[in-house]
């Protein structure tokens, strides 16, 4: 299907062929008829994307510092790959559209059916694309009598409506709208529908005239010498009761103009992306209220609302995002709002690049509402596209391993795929991600033959020898099991599973398949660690191990700490440390005691673990998120049997014995956590018919230890295994 993408590295905006999305259980698959370009927001995005790296560095010194810190911590090569993986990204544009339902997720089949007309919202979902997959709470039915052209304004309309709600205006009040773009024009219409008198201000005379057509009682240009006198006369000499700033500008002029137009104790509402250099005295002297309107209503930026479809109770939150969308379309149906008068251009999706040249001013002329039109295209629903001709077909079992990759986030693109690309006997055949644009871009960058949005396409592909699974954690076990069932070897990023039942099912499937299953416990392949392990290989007594991790924090909204999708950081990352200690002593964990550090069990991003191993060895893991990032991330100290060793962030290892110290690595040593070696071992095992380099039974034991650690944190007692 065709989709409009902006390329972060070059800043170019292009129409690209990408695989269509799949239907999610709590969402709809929609064939777009129209989508709306928001001139203010999307112009700023396109212009920001077109800024060169030097200008970006000047504007965001904090990002430069992050890059320098990462280079010092992880090495230049790893930093270059990480930065490149973030720059080589195509951003889907658009967030407001309308069309016809093609497919209904299983959780919505009582509410929608194929053929329903719907309007959709949400960046990353309601994109400029022939087909979009949109979650439940960002979709509404189009009322009878409302055209799909008008319905495509639903997001912008909901933004304007939320701004009016935040202003909390009353019948008969005098209101000023500063900025008469799409949001400003719809704000004018909404205020009139609410029984207010409206004065519009803009830098362009044609926008002021259009506002009058839309119902504004008066208006003028920003540079009108009589502006203040006209607003004073309009408001009966009192000043405006409410001022809604809907301008899209980095300038603070609108917020500095507002107090001179407002009445004493009036309200100023910020709706647009506007500079916020607020003149304190001017606001203080009139005791003005400054209110910020957050997008299109409660639920915005809440992943549980927007992605998981969990609504707020109406008795507590009357007007959510979705209910604002419904209210806007109902007002259109009643003839109280006329978004159609704001349309200046209708452009076929194939010519979308021309539309953006209009928005950025490369093509001269006035514009306001630009609609992209979509033809009926049955082929647009295909979930795979060919990116390059595949290599000559090879029978299964020959030296070249044909690989499919399921999931391609930042870690896969910056660490795993660059390592695999260097292996001459691996054919990168296919990649699948939930986002069509991500799949297409990853396929182009790394040379995959085809890209897909449905991971089942790869599972069913008979021309694959192996699958690498790097999805979000909740899919690990089920995807790996499905691949093993079809006779494919599997490299599975940690964790193996989030629940005991799916872990056991994965083990049962692996046992019956006879295929290689390797879990991504890379640290046991790290060169510095292997020196340490060899150093203690001849020991005759238990050892003590202390593992400190300066983990850094993650945002509470991150999927990593979501109990359903990520499972938390103990299951998702501390498993690495447990595996390394168990591998070092070559013994199973017999008991674990875990305690959160100054936080609830639910966050689990700072925790202390005490481990006892069946050979009598003891291990402690301090996994803490509260440290400074300039400190190296990982340090392992080992003592016992007359020996001591210190492994410092997989750069250096110090080995102490018989009063002497051997140091391997140096201050400038490159960090190597074993990723390349573990991947090489995986493909060698497939080609040579050997067992997995990481025993799945050992990996499963480590996974069960993480489950026990969570149980220990909840109970406050040690847990035996």
Interval 258-298: pLDDT, tens: 999 999 999 999 998 899 999 999 999 999 999 999 999 99
**For all residues of the chain together, what is the average pLDDT?**
92
Region 91-100: mean pLDDT is 97
Mean pLDDT computed over 526-549 = 97
Q: Is the pLDDT of residue 532 over 80?
A: yes
Numbered ranges of CATH 3.90.180.10 in the chain: 2-152+303-378
Which tens digit of pLDDT belongs to each residue from 456-514?
A: 999 999 999 999 999 999 999 999 999 999 999 999 999 999 999 999 999 999 999 99
Reference 585, options 547, 551, 557, 627; nearest CA is 547
CA angle 620, 624, 630 (to 5 degrees): 120
What is the spatial distance between Cα 613 and Cα 619, in angstroms, rounded to a whole number?
A: 8
- The pLDDT value recorded for residue 299 is 96
Q: Name which of 342-346, 397-401, 629-633 the model is least confident about.
A: 397-401
- Reply yes or no on whether the pLDDT at 373 is more than 70: yes
State residue 395's pLDDT score. 47
pLDDT at 67: 54
Q: Could you give the strand order of the β-sheet that contains 289-292, starting from the edge strand earlier in sequence?
A: 218-221, 197-202, 174-178, 240-245, 262-270, 289-292
Out of 82-86, 148-152, 232-236, least confident range:
82-86
C-alpha closest to that of 325 among 293, 344, 291, 299: 299
Quick one: pLDDT at residue 63? Answer: 54
Average pLDDT of the segment spanning 524-539: 97
**Which tokens hold the place of 584?**
């070092």
| CATH 3.40.50.720, the chain: domain bounds | 165-292, 384-515
Mean pLDDT of 579-590: 98
Q: Are 3 and 18 in contact (CB under 8 A)?
A: yes
State yes or no: pLDDT of 603 exceeds 70.
no
Name the segment(s) of the chain with CATH classification 3.30.360.10: 523-720
Query: What pLDDT does 601 receive?
Result: 60
- Yes or no: domain 384-515 corresponds to CATH 3.40.50.720: yes
CA distance readout (Å), 353 to 11, 30, 36, 129, 296: 12, 23, 14, 13, 27
Is 706 strand, coil or helix?
helix
In CATH, what class is 2-152+303-378? alpha beta
User: Which tens digits make up the pLDDT trace of 412-436?
Assistant: 999 999 999 999 899 999 999 999 9
Average pLDDT over every residue of 320-349 = 98
How many angstroms separate the CA atoms of 17 and 4, rounded?
9
pLDDT higher than 80, residue 602:
no
pLDDT reported for residue 39: 82
- Residues 614 and 184: their CA atoms lie apart, in Å, by 70
For the domain made up of 523-720, give the CATH fold.
Dihydrodipicolinate Reductase; domain 2 (3.30.360)
CATH of domain 165-292: 3.40.50.720
- Whole-number pLDDT of residue 74: 59
């Amino acid at each position: 299907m065709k989709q409009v993408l902006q390329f972060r590295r070059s800043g170019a905006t292009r129409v690209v062929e990408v695989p269509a999305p799949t239907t999610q259980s709590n969402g709809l698959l929609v064939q777009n008829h129209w989508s709306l370009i928001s001139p203010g927001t999307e112009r700023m995005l396109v212009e920001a994307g077109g800024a060169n790296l030097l200008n970006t560095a000047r504007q965001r010194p904090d990002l430069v510092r992050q890059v320098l810190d990462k280079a010092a911590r992880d090495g230049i090569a790893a930093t270059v790959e990480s930065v490149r993986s973030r720059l080589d990204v195509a951003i889907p544009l658009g967030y407001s559209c309308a069309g016809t339902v093609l497919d209904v997720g299983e959780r919505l089949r009582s509410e929608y059916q194929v053929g329903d007309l719907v309007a959709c919202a949400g960046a990353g979902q309601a994109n400029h694309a022939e087909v979009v997959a949109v979650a439940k709470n960002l979709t509404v039915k189009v009322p009878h009598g409302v055209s799909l052209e008008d319905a495509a304004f639903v997001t912008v309309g909901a933004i304007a409506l939320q701004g009016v709600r935040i202003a909390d205006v009353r019948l008969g009040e005098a209101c000023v709208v500063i900025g008469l773009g799409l949001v400003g024009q719809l704000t004018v219409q909404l205020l009139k529908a609410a029984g207010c008198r409206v004065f519009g201000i803009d830098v362009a005379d044609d926008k002021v005239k259009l506002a009058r057509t839309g119902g504004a009682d008066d208006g003028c240009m920003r540079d009108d010498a009589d502006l203040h006198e006209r607003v004073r006369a309009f408001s009966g000499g009192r000043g405006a009761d409410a001022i809604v700033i809907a301008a899209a500008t980095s300038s603070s002029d609108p917020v500095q103009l507002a107090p001179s137009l407002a009445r004493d104790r009036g309200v100023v509402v910020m709706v647009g992306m506007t500079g916020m250099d607020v003149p304190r005295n001017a606001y203080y002297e009139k005791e003005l209220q400054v209110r910020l309107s957050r997008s299109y209503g409660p639920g915005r930026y809440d992943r549980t609302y927007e992605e998981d479809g969990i609504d707020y109770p109406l008795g507590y939150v009357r007007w959510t995002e979705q209910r604002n969308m419904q209210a806007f379309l109902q007002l259109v149906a009643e003839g109280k709002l006329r978004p159609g008068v704001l349309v200046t251009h209708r452009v076929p999706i194939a010519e979308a690049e021309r539309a953006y040249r209009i928005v950025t001013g490369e093509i001269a002329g006035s514009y306001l509402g630009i609609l992209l039109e979509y033809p009926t295209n049955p082929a647009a629903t295909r979930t795979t596209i060919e990116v390059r001709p595949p290599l000559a077909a090879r029978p299964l079992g020959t030296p070249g391993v044909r690989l499919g990759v399921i999931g391609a986030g930042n870690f896969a693109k910056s660490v795993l795929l660059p390592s695999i690309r260097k292996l001459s006997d691996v054919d990168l055949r296919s990649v699948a991600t939930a986002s069509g644009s991500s799949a297409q871009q990853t396929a182009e960058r790394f040379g995959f033959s085809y890209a897909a949005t449905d991971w089942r396409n790869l599972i069913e592909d008979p021309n694959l020898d192996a699958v690498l699974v790097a999805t979000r954690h909740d899919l690990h076990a089920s995807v790996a099991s499905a691949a093993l069932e079809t006779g494919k070897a599997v490299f599975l990023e940690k964790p193996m599973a989030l629940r005991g039942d799916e872990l056991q099912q994965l083990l049962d499937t692996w046992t019956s398949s006879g295929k290689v299953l390797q879990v991504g416990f890379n640290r046991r392949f790290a060169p510095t660690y292997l020196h340490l392990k060899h150093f203690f290989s001849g020991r005759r007594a238990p050892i003590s191990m202390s593992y400190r991790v300066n983990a850094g924090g993650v945002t509470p909204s991150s999927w990593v700490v979501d109990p359903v999708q990520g499972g938390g950081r103990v299951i998702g990352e501390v498993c690495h440390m447990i595996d390394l200690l168990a591998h070092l002593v070559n013994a199973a964990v017999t008991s674990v005691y875990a305690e959160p550090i100054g936080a609830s069990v639910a966050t689990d991003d700072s925790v202390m673990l005490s481990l006892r191993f069946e050979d009598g060895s003891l291990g402690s893991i301090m996994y803490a998120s509260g440290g400074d990032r300039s400190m190296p991330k990982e340090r392992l100290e080992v003592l016992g049997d007359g020996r001591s060793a210190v492994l410092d962030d997989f750069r250096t290892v110090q080995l102490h014995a018989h009063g002497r110290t051997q140091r391997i690595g140096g201050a400038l040593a490159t960090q190597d956590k074993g990723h390349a070696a573990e991947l090489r071992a995986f493909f060698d095992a497939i080609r040579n018919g050997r067992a997995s380099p990481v025993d799945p039974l050992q990996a499963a034991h480590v996974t069960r230890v993480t489950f026990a650690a969570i149980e220990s944190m909840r109970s406050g007692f040690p847990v035996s295994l």
